[in-house]
Amino acid sequence: MAKANPDRAMQRGLQQADQRLTVGAELSLIRPLGRNSLELTAFAGYDFYNRNARLNRERIALDADAGLYFGNCQLQLNPRFERRQSDLAQLAVLNVPGIDSVRNTQTVQNYESSLQCGRANGLKILGSAGYTQGNNSNSLRRFANYRGHQLQAGVSYQNPVLGEFTATLGRDRITYPERSGTIGLSGYRIDQLKITGRREIGAILTANASLAYSNLDPDGPAGGGFKGLTWTAGLSAVPSTDLRVTLDFARSLNPSLGGEALYSRDTSYALAAEYALTPRTSVFSGVTRNDRRFANARSTQTVLLTNDRLDQLNAGLRMQVNRRLKLSLEGGHERRNANGTFLDYRNTYGLLTASITLGNF
């Protein structure tokens, strides 16, 4: 549970093995409103730890999507909110007496809107704008708080035979308000030319991919810029009505709330499968790998995180007991390999989830 080796867990004052009880309520809403639509998923709960009580924290999430039509134009609004205890794998040991390096509530907000105009099949003109921010509650973690603005414009083409393709030109601006006096780490700008596509290949396969040329320009000369390709690729296969297999790859540039770097360059791979044993019972399994490189990382901490790799393996069983009750049993193992053995760890976990549907409204 400490996401750390024995030495690091002891410095944090944490027990490596623990039991966590998460109690919460979720609301899922899907409403067609004529041509318009509204989807909402909200969760509010609290995490209780048996041994590491200092990690007790609220867990809140909200994801909404509203689609509004005006003639041949569609406006999409998508606000997202998440608040929880920081992932302990992101936090190093602070060399400051009296400051708790473990207790940190992380809050991330995203607000996106997009507008596209044109026929359902054919050429469309599109544009989007967004705002994002990430905040830490711990006073010494606020160095990583960020703000972001995004603008994007482009065209898309959709054909029932060929699929859907989009070309966009966008700019993202990320600033770190708590780093205004730190040369090279106060923010950066990304200009990006991106092409995306999605196509069904027969009745079994669905493929999606994106390729972008990204030019990341830091505010200062010591920031460490980036010029090159980022991408995503995904393949979903349904070889039978009982089996679904997905394969995903991605390379992206992201701000980080966990480390004192300008940004992280992430490369991820994921393979997952789910098989229906009966109409109410299915088994699932997956494996992922995520490599991260932190640009121009600096730290007041005793250990500096510059790069890491996290491998994860999981498997489990899902069961629809009756109309209201769902059960899920999952087990998994993860291994982290970072710069320096002090940041490495192995973790095995088990998870039991019970979900009761109170009613439909």
**Is 45:32 a contact under the CB 8 Å cutoff?**
no
pLDDT classification of 164: cutoffs 50, 70, 90: very high
| Selected residue with higher pLDDT from 338 and 110 | 110
The per-residue pLDDT for 179 is 82
Residues 53 and 21: their CA atoms lie apart, in Å, by 11
| Least confident range of 96-100, 113-117, 310-314 | 96-100
Q: Which amino acid is at 106?
A: Q
Band the pLDDT of 127: cuts 50, 70, 90: very high
- Tell me how far apart the alpha carbons of residues 165 and 199 are, in angstroms, rounded to a whole number: 9
* Per-residue pLDDT at 175: 93
* 117: pLDDT strictly greater than 70: yes
Per-residue pLDDT, 47: 97
> Considering only CA atoms, which of 208, 285, 279, 201 is closest in space to residue 239?
201
The percent of residues in the chain predicted with pLDDT above 70, rounded, is: 93
User: 212, 309, 216: which is closest to 267 by C-alpha?
Assistant: 309
pLDDT confidence bin for 83, thresholds 50/70/90: very high
pLDDT at 119 over 90: no
| Average confidence score pLDDT of the chain | 90
Percent of the chain clearing pLDDT 90 (strictly above): 65
Task: Kindly report, residue by residue over 10-32, the tens digit of the pLDDT.
Answer: 878 888 899 999 999 999 998 88
Across the range 176-181, mean pLDDT stands at 82
pLDDT tens-digit series, residues 285-333: 999 999 999 887 776 566 778 889 999 999 999 999 998 999 999 999 9
Q: How far apart are CA 229 and CA 47, in angstroms?
A: 39
Judged on CB neighbours under 10 Å (0-12, 13-18, 19+), 161 is exposed
Mean pLDDT of 78-82: 97
Split at pLDDT 50, 70, 90, the class of 44 is very high
Q: Where are the alpha helices (DSSP H) in the chain?
A: 6-12
Please write the tens of the pLDDT for every residue from 247-283. Answer: 999 999 998 776 678 889 999 999 999 999 999 999 9
